[in-house]
Amino acid sequence: MLELPVVHKFGGSCLRDATDLERIAEILTNAHQPVIVVVSALWGTTDRLMRAAQEPRYAGRLVYDLAKHHLRFSPTLVESPLYDVFQRVLEGIEESLNALASDRDDKIAYNRLLASGERLSALVIAHGLSLRGLEAHPVGAEDIGLQLDGAGTAARVDIAGSRAKLDRSAFHGVPVVTGWFGEGTDGNIALLGRGGSDHTATAWRPCFKPNASCCGRTCSASTRSTRGGVQSSPIPYLGYGKRWNLPMRTPPSSIPPPLSPSMKWASRLKFAT
């Protein structure tokens, strides 16, 4: 990928069912530059995984429900070579929940559990896009060198560290990259905070080239304004339903942590619905 890519980020609000794939495919088909697709987990998946971490004894039921939900999104995945990877991710969910059943404070198992939502999403979206004529393939952010600045949890992407370790060979066709997490300073998966997928999306172009303009495109399932909160101490987790409604009661604002790569590298952003 010699030309700098345009980054398209798709959040859970526009990853609800198979019809959303049509709109995503249309956006990407009409792109005139190389692209990177950054995805969140499918709508509601992260909430379910977080709840499951508190009740890990129901691992079998959760795995069954997640498999059913994701296969509704992309039914023919079962006939694809990616299905083996899909099954391994599901097995990893069960293993993480079993580990949490023994030790609720197992941070590595917890992070692996939550990261599985983005992994499943990347698989079904990449498969769905390939059926629509795009050379899409799933990519794990930590597998190709995305470095974060903390262990377990992190505030931001380590741009310089990521650039040094970046596996550029993964960026061919339409790479569908997991958002929200990367490799922490301890070598294990680390998670970003709320808005983490937006943050990773804005980080990719600077990872390719210093001072690169970060052109991104975010698909929204709604015409509501892009809103969010300011950087603050962690607060108790809000479900997506509450998170969706709460900002509507406040003035529009940007989100400093997600946008920090763009500000630091004098980049510009382009959002579209």
pLDDT of residue 144: 95
List C-alpha distances in Å: 68 to 42, 55, 74.
13, 20, 10
Residue 120 pLDDT > 90 = yes
Task: Please state the pTM of the whole predicted model.
Answer: 0.79
Residue 230 pLDDT > 60 = no
> What number does CATH give the domain 6-264?
3.40.1160.10
List C-alpha distances in Å: 148 to 180, 196, 228, 231, 256.
10, 11, 22, 17, 17
Lowest mean pLDDT among 48-62, 64-78, 146-160, 181-195: 48-62
Query: Where does the pLDDT of residue 221 fall: very low under 50, low under 70, confident under 90, or very high at 90 and above?
Result: very low
User: What number of H helices and E strands is found in the chain?
Assistant: 9, 7
Question: pLDDT of 76-102, one tens digit each?
Answer: 999 999 999 999 999 999 999 999 999
Domain boundaries, the chain: 6-264
List C-alpha distances in Å: 42 to 129, 177, 210.
15, 14, 32
State whether residue 137 is helix, strand or coil. Answer: strand
